[in-house]
């Protein structure tokens, strides 16, 4: 048994020593790989990365119409914003050359905002506030024409889009009346005062994107284009542009006592296209445009507060009963069937590839 084991060990050792020489003398057919040392590594990269910065000069805005509440005497109202905004944007794109898929993500933040607004007939303007957005798309480009240097690829993508629309709109005030302590009364007179707070306009939009994508290259020039349907978007936030004047009902006055909270949904579309020139193998400048449109509907909820006026019980000119309130109660939701948001603009891009 020991002789057999020793003989097996010697045989294995001899084969291990001789294998390089044997392998060197063998001429393998083309369809059969040689030893692992001869396996060829891929000459082309399996994955590529694009990254860079963009500048967008854009125009956008919102508009809405509310139904009001006839039972409580709350009038219908309208509001709109219109802005010119400049954005700084960063992006990253991962291209999987093996599966022809890609992941494209970008986000932008307003550098300069110039907004005009109309609160139910009261105009104003502001340069305060912000607009921000982020997009992430996963795409597949299986259809190809031509070569990598002169050709095109087509496919589709599924993605997500977030928008935060928050210009600071003036005049969107309300009176946070919770109880009698909220009211300041000049004792003995008919004069009283209620607090005033400002409602900051901010809408948060979370949207689904489904679309088609294409890219083409012609030597040093390239072209990309995307068209997306937005079948569903949720919209939540505060409509700072919604307000109404206090309603005098004779013995008491009705005030808007909270900010106006909106919750709804929307649908729409988006598109962008860019043409680029490759300065070097890994650097390019590109120019193009982008547009987004959403149309939505939903419910607007806010609180009201009734304040009973001071009373002069004996008509001697001295008011002996202070103003009182029952606190805040909430209005049956107003319906908004015409809310629209839009933005379009020009893009400039500096891209590096690695």
Domain ranges for the chain: 50-353
d(CA 235, CA 77): 20
pLDDT tens, residue by residue, 32-54: 454 545 444 445 678 999 999 99
Interatomic CA distance for residues 208 and 12, integer angstroms = 63
Q: Quick count: other Cβ atoms within 10 Å of Cβ 243?
A: 21
H/E run at residue 300: strand 283-301
Higher pLDDT, 293 or 168: 293
Mean predicted lDDT score pLDDT of the chain: 88
Mean pLDDT confidence for 200-207: 95
The CATH number, out of the four listed (2.60.120, 1.10.3470, 2.40.128, 2.30.30), of the domain defined by the range 50-353: 2.40.128
Predicted pLDDT of residue 275 = 97
Burial of 73 (0-12, 13-18, 19+ CB in 10 A): exposed
Residue 80 pLDDT class (50, 70, 90 cuts): confident
Q: Any idea which of 40-44, 153-157, 279-283 has the lowest mean pLDDT?
A: 40-44
Q: Which two tokens stand for residue 128?
A: 């305060």
Confidence (pLDDT) at 170: 79
54: Cβ contacts below 8 Å, ≥ 6 apart: 87, 88, 89, 90, 91, 106, 108, 347, 348, 349, 350
User: What's the CA gap between 317 and 198, in Å, rounded?
Assistant: 35
Q: Average pLDDT in the 81-102 region?
A: 95
133 closest CA partner among 109, 166, 154 = 109
Strands, E, within 75-185: which ranges?
77-96, 101-119, 122-126, 129-146, 150-167, 173-174, 184-185
Q: Please list the alpha-helical segments (H only) found in the chain.
A: 2-25
The model's pTM is 0.82
State the Cα–Cα distance between residues 41 and 34, nearest whole angstrom: 13
């Amino acid at each position: 048994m020991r002789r057999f084991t020793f003989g097996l060990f010697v045989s294995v050792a001899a084969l291990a020593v001789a294998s390089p020489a044997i392998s060197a003398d063998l001429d393998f057919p083309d369809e059969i790989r040689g030893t692992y040392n001869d396996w060829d590594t891929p000459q082309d990269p399996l994955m590529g990365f694009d990254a860079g910065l963009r500048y967008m000069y854009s125009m956008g805005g919102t508009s809405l119409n509310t139904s009001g509440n006839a039972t409580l005497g709350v009038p219908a109202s309208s509001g709109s914003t219109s802005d010119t905004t400049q954005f700084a944007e960063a992006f990253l794109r991962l291209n999987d050359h093996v599966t022809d898929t890609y992941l494209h993500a970008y986000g932008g933040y307003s550098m300069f905002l110039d907004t005009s607004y109309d609160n139910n007939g009261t105009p104003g303007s502001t340069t305060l506030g912000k607009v921000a957005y982020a997009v992430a798309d996963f795409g597949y480009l299986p259809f190809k024409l031509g070569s990598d240097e002169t050709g095109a690829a087509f496919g589709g993508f599924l993605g997500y889009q977030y928008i935060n629309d928050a210009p600071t709109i003036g005049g969107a005030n309300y009176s946070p009346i919770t109880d009698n302590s909220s009211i300041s009364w000049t004792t003995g007179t008919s004069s009283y005062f209620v607090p005033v707070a400002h409602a900051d306009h901010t809408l948060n939009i979370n949207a689904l994107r489904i679309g088609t994508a294409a890219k083409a290259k012609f030597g040093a020039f390239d072209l990309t284009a995307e068209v997306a349907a937005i079948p569903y978007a949720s919209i939540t936030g505060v409509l700072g542009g919604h307000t109404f004047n206090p309603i005098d009902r004779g013995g008491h006055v009705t005030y808007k006592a909270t900010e106006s909270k909106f919750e709804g949904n929307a649908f729409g579309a988006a598109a962008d296209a860019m043409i680029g020139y490759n300065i070097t193998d890994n650097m390019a400048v590109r120019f193009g445009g982008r547009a987004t449109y959403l149309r939505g509907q939903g419910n607007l909820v806010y609180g009201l507060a009734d304040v009973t006026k001071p009373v002069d019980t004996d008509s001697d000119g001295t008011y002996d009963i202070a103003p009182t309130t029952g606190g805040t109660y909430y209005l049956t939701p107003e319906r908004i069937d015409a809310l629209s948001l839009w933005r379009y603009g020009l893009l400039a891009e500096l891209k590096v590839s690695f």
